[in-house]
Structure 1
């Protein structure tokens, strides 16, 4: 009986219909995800100028050249700084704003939800152009407001100290509303009885946030963190290209933008592929670390 059941299960497993249903999705993943990843890894081991039909195998020379370049070390630091700035604006700030508006009347909450979400519908290129106009040191609205109160408008995009935060602000402004709505929805989902019981026990302010709200919001916070990280990396290229092209003196360039520059401006496709490999590995480590944190530290249920 058991062998007959196994035989029937084996025959059912050979039916083509389930595999035909999966074929379009697998084909899409293979063509547009896995094949580009494999090809990029192969290309990182070669030297190629995007024009010549010959691709010279150089092994790990592209990676060695990157790590021996002091400019690449600065690029890594600027990438980390850009991601941290984006996480502040797309993770910490939305949570704080959601906590601040939770106690407001419903009509005020609706108003803030609308105002914060409006930038989300704008394209990243449009948002970059808007902020580029705001930052103009001579005719920009920010400069005019500062001059009206007797202050000099700083050249934010021309100053190496302020250029990168000014560019990172674009991604923060665009995606703040999306993450704010998610954080607010999570806070509203917490049962009122839990909050009242915590207050009866004397939990207010920071103790209430640390001991009650954050543990209950654990899975949501992890999603916010992953979403903020993804948006900061996915939309990092456009603001830099529109506003600064990596200047001044490379102070707004990061690894996402450097891949484009190496490939399509300097025609060093192998070096660009090596940078993309390092970026992918770094992102994978971050995601695995966050998933480990979810498994070990976040309460389930």
Structure 2
């Protein structure tokens, strides 16, 4: 009986200690999410004292708008570019620096991680100056070879590529350090045994390193999609504001644009709800299918 009462006492103490965290989650996560879903069924401009109930009209309007599909297409392109630059390339860099190189490892790690501590606003301004099509350093160099610098901020494909590069410059170092730490934890005995058997470095990477660091790889995959799309909001806001003709906008910026520029709160809330459903499906897919093949040490 004493043991049972002790367990009950400990459980209640644990619940009491969780109360501040639960309150914070309710105030800053669950309540805003619930209120966003509520607003998605109303027509409101954030100024009028009344809200007009329109049912699912906001969802119909959003999903039938060609601009929405253009923004979703842009978002898909952003995701692909961010995954290549911030997942595939850091994986290779971390492997080469940890396994292949013998010297200057600390220098390379510090150099690659340094941009992640720089503000995205500063990065956006810096890249805007460097890539200025008239007076930027790159434009001046290209002029020496009679090569014109495209006005990338006014071209759909170029704008997405440059904005993705700015975001990647910020995110790359953080992802690299996490992957480096994961690869560094792979057993050296297994790698050395593979080398003694004559296994080439590329095969060691694909057959040993990636499977044994897959837990971190999946984590980087998820946060690159989620946080990458949030980080790209800043350079879009600072440089292009979604132009030309929504050609550089993504779903995160479009949600902001609908609410705080066009004051169509219902449309913005409907888009946010659809995007949240996408993230939920992504997590379900990750836990249902991907986690089965992930290697966890011990």
| TM-score, length of structure 1 as denominator length | 0.92
Deviation at 1:294, TM superposition (A): 4.0
* Mean Cα deviation higher: 42-51 or 289-298: 289-298
Q: Given the superposition, is the C-alpha separation of residues 59 and 6 from structure 1 closer, same or farther in structure 2, using an over 3 Å criterion?
A: farther
Deviation at 1:122, TM superposition (A): 0.8
Matching of residue 161 in structure 1 with residue 192 in structure 2? no
Aligned counterpart, 2:28 = 32
Matching of residue 214 in structure 1 with residue 210 in structure 2? yes
Deviation at 1:66, TM superposition (A): 1.1
Deviation at 1:96, TM superposition (A): 1.5
How many residues were matched structurally? Answer: 296
Once the two structures are superposed, the pairs formed by residues 248-259 of structure 1 within 5 Å of their partners are 248-259=244-255
Deviation at 1:11, TM superposition (A): 6.1
Deviation at 1:75, TM superposition (A): 1.1
Does structure 2 conserve the Cα–Cα contact (< 8 Å) formed by 1:240 and 1:257? yes
Find 1:105's aligned residue among 102, 106, 109. Answer: 102
Aligned counterpart, 1:59 = 55
Find 1:21's aligned residue among 3, 17, 20. Answer: 17
* Mean Cα deviation higher: 151-160 or 63-72: 151-160
* Mean Cα deviation higher: 92-101 or 44-53: 92-101
Does structure 2 conserve the Cα–Cα contact (< 8 Å) formed by 1:135 and 1:157? no
Does structure 2 conserve the Cα–Cα contact (< 8 Å) formed by 1:219 and 1:294? no
Aligned counterpart, 1:238 = 234
Q: Given the superposition, is the C-alpha separation of residues 300 and 182 from structure 1 closer, same or farther in structure 2, using an over 3 Å criterion?
A: closer
Deviation at 1:215, TM superposition (A): 1.0
Q: Secondary structure at the match of 1:239?
A: helix
Find 1:182's aligned residue among 175, 178, 183. Answer: 178
Q: Given the superposition, is the C-alpha separation of residues 5 and 269 from structure 1 closer, same or farther in structure 2, using an over 3 Å criterion?
A: same
C-alpha separation in 2, matches of 1:213 and 1:62: 48
Deviation at 1:84, TM superposition (A): 1.5
Structure 2 unpaired stretches of 5+: none
C-alpha separation in 1, matches of 2:188 and 2:47: 64
Deviation at 1:13, TM superposition (A): 7.3
Deviations 1:145-187 (A, max 9, x none): 2223332212222222211111111110111111111222222
Aligned counterpart, 1:84 = 80
| TM-score, length of structure 2 as denominator length | 0.93
C-alpha separation in 2, matches of 1:290 and 1:188: 25
Does structure 1 conserve the Cα–Cα contact (< 8 Å) formed by 2:130 and 2:138? yes
Find 1:12's aligned residue among 9, 15, 25. Answer: 9
Instruction: Compute the RMSD of aligned alpha carbons.
Output: 2.0
Deviation at 1:98, TM superposition (A): 1.5
Deviations 1:212-237 (A, max 9, x none): 11111111111211222232022121
Structure 1 unpaired stretches of 5+: none
Q: Given the superposition, is the C-alpha separation of residues 138 and 205 from structure 1 closer, same or farther in structure 2, using an over 3 Å criterion?
A: same
Q: Secondary structure at the match of 1:152?
A: coil
